[in-house]
């Protein structure tokens, strides 16, 4: 019989063990091995049985054992030390505390968080990144206050049918059985946030706090008795349900999230955030809620919009259009208009914010990414290449501007080393590379590591993966209906001495799970090579609704089921953080073969690199940026080839060749029994060159310095004097936008070129601009110059401001300046007028630009 309701009864700890619950409730244990050792000591056997989940441990351990521990002086001393260490970690000044003017607090919004497999509130890269972001923020003392949703079924766990088809299970989670505490009002009642819905309904949520080191993570949970059945199910599962369900989740995350932050700050005295960072578009409604807050104290929509934009950072995470949230416009209209409209936030203005650009967009769609970009003054992609791709993808929002001027920058993702790096590696680094461990600096010292130390640790990590893979494979075959007596062969699956390639990912089509199966015969040869065998460990989940992805998994599973190869290739079900850790630590090579440029960044290869693994990847995402020819291998991409079949074929062939000729060659190149010297050279070079870049600490510093601090400065500038600058800025934007059609470049003249223009000379440029109703203070007039294409298009031009010479009464203003002829080859120039205001973060911010009607570019000058 099924239970109609479940809950978890927590143990009452004997008084001397009270610090244990403090340790369990702070998720710092998820990246602190010493604390995990202490948990293990509570009861090693139970610890293994509950899969290293400390809350489950305390629920399962016998009271007699707890009594015993409460009298064990040695254990109590260790417990006291661990608790002291945590308190010290929580309060000691860190990197952020050395900064002068950082924001008092930063709110961080994400629909999913991968902190530990014991809190399964993530599906893939976005969530893992968010988890690493919080942990690195905690380590650096960055005052982030994070918000998400608590999904009662989390993400599904995966198993396989006898035919190798993906099966999904949604275990129900009880917050009482998770490392969470409930946020309560001073009177002890549960803190609540409420959102009104159409037809007089209300969506209510309670708030759970996951303490991630120094960072509080607020998780909203709609499973409360005040809600009707439909509202209760809003946070039932991650990325499940239809469009309407998803809209409600996003309203709760964005609007409810801001309200939860206000509630948390009121109850605990935490500083109010000055910056709001939204991790992908799902939380975009947070901007509307903040506009609502401000408009209720007598600001207009436009004024509030300016104040909100200044302090908002938006990170886009995918160049795949299907990865972007788009709602039917009507649905948004219904939820923010009609009987559910906010009196001071007109629904028409909301719909405008989410409207796709007229030329390429769909009028019936409300696009969350587009709204995110309009509500944030600072926008970034997650690798250099992804920044470029995003500028192209969203260029329609800034018509008239060159693609490279689209105001979307990039900060390349990083990974949290203490979470992903094997303990042995951390310990070696602690002994030999202390400044790398404490400050992330001094990576050149990697050269001093001895080959035999590294090789010995690599061997241990590989062996751990092999043993765990056998256990998981056995469990998987049992679940597929095999009896234990048929499974003897599993003891020989994988070999701790063989070159091990890891390949794990979610399974959307662009990641090309099955590229390696393109030529099955060739793959078999690689696996079964007598002298230089290769083994492959694969994992990944397909989205429950993605039949195509499930077919790909089935193809892999069928291939790996073949008795001829099954000792060299395995598919391990239920890819989660725990399996991810085993894989990135145990594999010698991390393979990644997405369809370039659809992988925004990718982070698994970074995790592998920090563990002494090497990357074998398509030059996409981070690998395009940091591959240097010697720190791994780049699979050549057939970028220009439009036939996808042909492209896959070419890239697969290149992949096989690389593995056969370069990767395994190097791995098996040994002097007698010694470690592979040439292989380890590459490992050390990888650590030296990538180590300083791939750390999440580097990423966090970049966010603080390049985005959070400037956003806080802008927000402060606009909110000074009771928001007077925000009002003035909004009024200025309105005035400039209205008057802009009157701006014209009337005349451009150049001199100083002579007969044959020469490198190093310069060009004198004079321009006459009719400013209409604007004044010279409102605009910047700039020379635009550089290389030109055969079609006279300026390629990656430079800009230089022209100086105002005189302004007459007739709205005409005269400008002049010089343009340096600083490169040989075809050269061209033009002039442009853009709005100018000290509070703008980019010339493209208003989307206004005026160019000469007749292109003034001259292309005949070929410089020598």
Q: Which residues bind ligand PLP (CB under 6 A)?
A: 124-125, 128, 505, 575-577, 580, 602-604, 607
The torsion of the CA quartet 658, 662, 667, 673, rounded to 10 degrees, works out to: 150
Give residue number: closest CB to ligand PLP: 580
Q: What's the CA gap between 32 and 39, in Å, rounded?
A: 11
The least distance separating ligand PLP from the CB of residue 510, rounded to whole angstroms, comes to: 11
Please list, residue by residue across 712-721, b when 16 or more beta carbons sit within 10 angstroms of its beta carbon and e when fewer do.
bbbbeebbee
> Based on CB atoms, which residue is closest to ligand PLP, 58 or 583?
583
The least distance separating ligand PLP from the CB of residue 244, rounded to whole angstroms, comes to: 28
> Based on CB atoms, which residue is closest to ligand PLP, 227 or 603?
603
The least distance separating ligand PLP from the CB of residue 621, rounded to whole angstroms, comes to: 8
Q: What's the CA gap between 424 and 430, in Å, rounded?
A: 10
Terminal CA-CA length for the chain: 87
> Based on CB atoms, which residue is closest to ligand PLP, 124 or 143?
124
β-bridge mates for residue 157, sequence order: 169
Q: How many helices (H) and strands (E) does the chain have?
A: 30, 29
C-beta contacts of 474-479 below 8 A and 24+ residues apart: 476/159, 476/160, 476/572, 476/573, 479/159, 479/160
State the alpha helices, DSSP H only, in 703-837: 709-739
Q: What's the CA gap between 570 and 474, in Å, rounded?
A: 11
Nearest to 537 by CA among 604, 597, 480: 604
The least distance separating ligand PLP from the CB of residue 611, rounded to whole angstroms, comes to: 12
> Based on CB atoms, which residue is closest to ligand PLP, 513 or 718?
513
User: What contacts 476, CB < 8 A, 6 or more positions away?
Assistant: 159, 160, 572, 573
> Based on CB atoms, which residue is closest to ligand PLP, 621 or 691?
621
β-bridge mates for residue 781, sequence order: 833
Nearest to 524 by CA among 573, 576, 563: 563
> Based on CB atoms, which residue is closest to ligand PLP, 580 or 725?
580
The least distance separating ligand PLP from the CB of residue 508, rounded to whole angstroms, comes to: 10
Give backbone dihedrals phi and psi of 277, rounded to 5 degrees, phi first. -110, 120
The least distance separating ligand PLP from the CB of residue 603, rounded to whole angstroms, comes to: 4
The least distance separating ligand PLP from the CB of residue 24, rounded to whole angstroms, comes to: 23
> Based on CB atoms, which residue is closest to ligand PLP, 691 or 835?
691
The least distance separating ligand PLP from the CB of residue 483, rounded to whole angstroms, comes to: 31
The least distance separating ligand PLP from the CB of residue 30, rounded to whole angstroms, comes to: 13
DSSP string, 808-826: -TTSEEEEEEEEE--SSEE
Q: Are 556 and 513 in contact (CB under 8 A)?
A: yes
The least distance separating ligand PLP from the CB of residue 449, rounded to whole angstroms, comes to: 25
Q: What's the CA gap between 587 and 459, in Å, rounded?
A: 10
Q: What is the CA radius of gyration of the chain?
A: 29
Q: In what order do the strands lie in the sheet with 828-835?
A: 794-801, 779-788, 828-835
Q: Are 105 and 271 in contact (CB under 8 A)?
A: yes
Q: Are 472 and 572 in contact (CB under 8 A)?
A: yes
Kind plus residue range of the DSSP H or E element containing 60: helix 54-60
> Based on CB atoms, which residue is closest to ligand PLP, 586 or 725?
586
> Based on CB atoms, which residue is closest to ligand PLP, 128 or 743?
128
> Based on CB atoms, which residue is closest to ligand PLP, 574 or 651?
574
> Based on CB atoms, which residue is closest to ligand PLP, 277 or 607?
607
The least distance separating ligand PLP from the CB of residue 622, rounded to whole angstroms, comes to: 9
> Based on CB atoms, which residue is closest to ligand PLP, 356 or 624?
624
Nearest to 582 by CA among 481, 494, 676, 689: 494
The least distance separating ligand PLP from the CB of residue 282, rounded to whole angstroms, comes to: 17
The least distance separating ligand PLP from the CB of residue 577, rounded to whole angstroms, comes to: 5
> Based on CB atoms, which residue is closest to ligand PLP, 131 or 675?
131
State the alpha helices, DSSP H only, in 440-546: 451-479, 520-528
Q: Pairing relation of β-strands 202-212 and 215-221?
A: antiparallel
């Amino acid at each position: 019989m099924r239970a109609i309701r479940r809950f978890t009864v927590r143990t009452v700890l004997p008084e001397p063990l009270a610090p244990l619950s403090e340790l369990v409730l702070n998720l710092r244990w998820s990246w602190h091995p010493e604390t995990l050792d202490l948990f293990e000591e509570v009861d090693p056997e139970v610890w293994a049985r509950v899969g290293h989940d400390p809350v489950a441990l305390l629920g399962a351990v016998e009271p007699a054992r707890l009594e015993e521990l409460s009298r064990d002086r040695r254990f109590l001393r260790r417990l006291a030390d661990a608790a002291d260490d945590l308190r010290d970690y929580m309060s000691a000044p860190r990197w952020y505390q050395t900064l002068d003017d950082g924001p008092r607090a930063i709110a961080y919004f994400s629909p999913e968080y991968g902190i530990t497999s014991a809190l399964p509130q993530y599906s893939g890269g976005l969530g893992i990144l968010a988890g690493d972001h919080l942990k690195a923020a905690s380590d650096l003392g960055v005052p982030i206050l994070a918000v998400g949703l608590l999904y009662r079924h989390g993400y599904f766990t995966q198993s396989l049918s006898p035919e190798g088809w993906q099966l999904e299970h949604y275990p129900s989670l009880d917050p009482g059985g998770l490392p969470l505490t409930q946020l309560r009002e001073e009177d002890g009642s549960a803190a609540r946030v409420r959102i009104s819905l159409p037809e007089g309904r209300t969506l209510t949520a309670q708030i759970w706090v996951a303490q991630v080191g120094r960072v509080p993570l607020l998780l909203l949970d709609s499973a409360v008795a005040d809600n009707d059945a439909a509202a209760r199910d809003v946070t039932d599962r991650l990325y499940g349900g239809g469009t309407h369900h998803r809209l409600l989740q996003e309203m709760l995350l964005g609007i409810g999230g801001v309200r939860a932050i206000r509630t948390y700050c009121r109850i605990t005295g935490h500083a109010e955030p000055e910056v709001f960072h939204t991790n992908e578009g799902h939380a975009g409604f947070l901007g509307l809620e903040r506009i609502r807050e401000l408009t209720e104290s007598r600001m207009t929509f436009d004024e509030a919009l300016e104040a909100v934009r200044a302090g908002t950072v938006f990170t886009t995470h995918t160049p795949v259009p299907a990865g972007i949230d788009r709602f039917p416009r009507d649905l948004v209209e219904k939820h923010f208009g009609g009987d559910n409209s906010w009196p001071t936030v007109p629904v028409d203005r909301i719909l405008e914010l989410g409207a796709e650009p007229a030329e390429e967009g769909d009028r019936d769609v409300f696009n969350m990414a587009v709204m995110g970009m309009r509500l944030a003054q600072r926008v970034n992609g997650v690798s250099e290449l992804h920044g470029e791709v995003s500028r192209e993808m969203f260029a329609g929002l800034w018509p008239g501007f060159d693609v490279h001027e689209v105001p979307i920058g990039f900060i390349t993702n990083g990974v949290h080393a203490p979470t992903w790096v094997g303990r042995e590696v951390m310990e070696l680094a602690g002994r030999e590379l202390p400044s790398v461990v404490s400050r992330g600096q001094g990576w050149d010292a990697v050269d001093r590591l001895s080959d035999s130390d590294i090789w010995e640790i690599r061997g241990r990590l590989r062996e751990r993966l092999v043993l765990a893979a056998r256990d998981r494979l056995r469990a998987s075959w049992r679940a597929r209906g095999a009896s234990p007596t048929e499974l003897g062969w599993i003891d020989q699956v994988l070999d701790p001495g063989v070159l091990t390639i890891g390949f794990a990912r979610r399974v959307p089509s662009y990641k090309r799970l099955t590229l390696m199966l393109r030529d099955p015969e060739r793959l078999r040869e690689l696996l079964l090579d007598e002298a230089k065998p290769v083994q492959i460990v694969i994992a990944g989940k397909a989205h429950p609704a993605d039949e195509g992805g499930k077919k790909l998994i089935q193809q892999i599973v069928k291939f790996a089921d073949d008795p001829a190869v099954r000792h060299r290739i395995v598919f391990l079900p239920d890819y989660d953080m725990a399996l991810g850790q085993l894989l990135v630590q145990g594999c010698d090579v991390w393979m990644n073969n997405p369809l370039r440029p659809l992988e925004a960044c990718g982070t698994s290869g970074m995790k592998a690199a920090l563990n002494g693994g090497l990357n074998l990847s398509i030059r996409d995402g981070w690998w395009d940026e940091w591959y240097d020819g010697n720190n791994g291998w780049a699979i050549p991409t057939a970028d220009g080839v439009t036939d996808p079949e042909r492209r896959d074929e070419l890239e697969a062939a290149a992949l096989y060749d690389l593995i056969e000729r370069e990767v395994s060659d190097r791995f098996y190149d040994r002097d007698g029994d010694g470690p592979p010297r040439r292989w380890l050279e590459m490992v050390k070079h990888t650590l030296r060159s990538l180590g300083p870049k791939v750390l999440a600490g580097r990423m966090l510093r970049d966010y603080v310095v390049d985005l959070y601090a400037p956003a806080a400065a802008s927000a402060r500038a606009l909110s000074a004097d009771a928001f007077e600058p925000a009002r003035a800025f909004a009024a200025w934007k309105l005035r400039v936008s209205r008057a802009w059609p009157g701006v014209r470049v009337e005349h451009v003249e150049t001199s100083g070129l002579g007969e044959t223009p020469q490198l190093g000379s310069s060009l004198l440029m004079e321009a006459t601009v009719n400013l209409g109703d604007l004044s010279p203070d409102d605009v910047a007039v700039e020379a635009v110059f550089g290389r030109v294409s055969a079609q006279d298009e300026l390629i990656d031009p430079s800009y230089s401001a022209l100086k105002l010479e005189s302004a007459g009464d007739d709205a005409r203003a005269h400008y002049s300046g010089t343009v340096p002829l600083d490169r040989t080859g075809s050269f061209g120039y033009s002039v442009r007028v853009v709005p100018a205001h000290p509070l703008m973060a980019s010339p493209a911010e208003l989307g206004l630009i005026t160019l000469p009607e007749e292109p003034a570019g001259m292309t005949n000058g070929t410089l020598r």
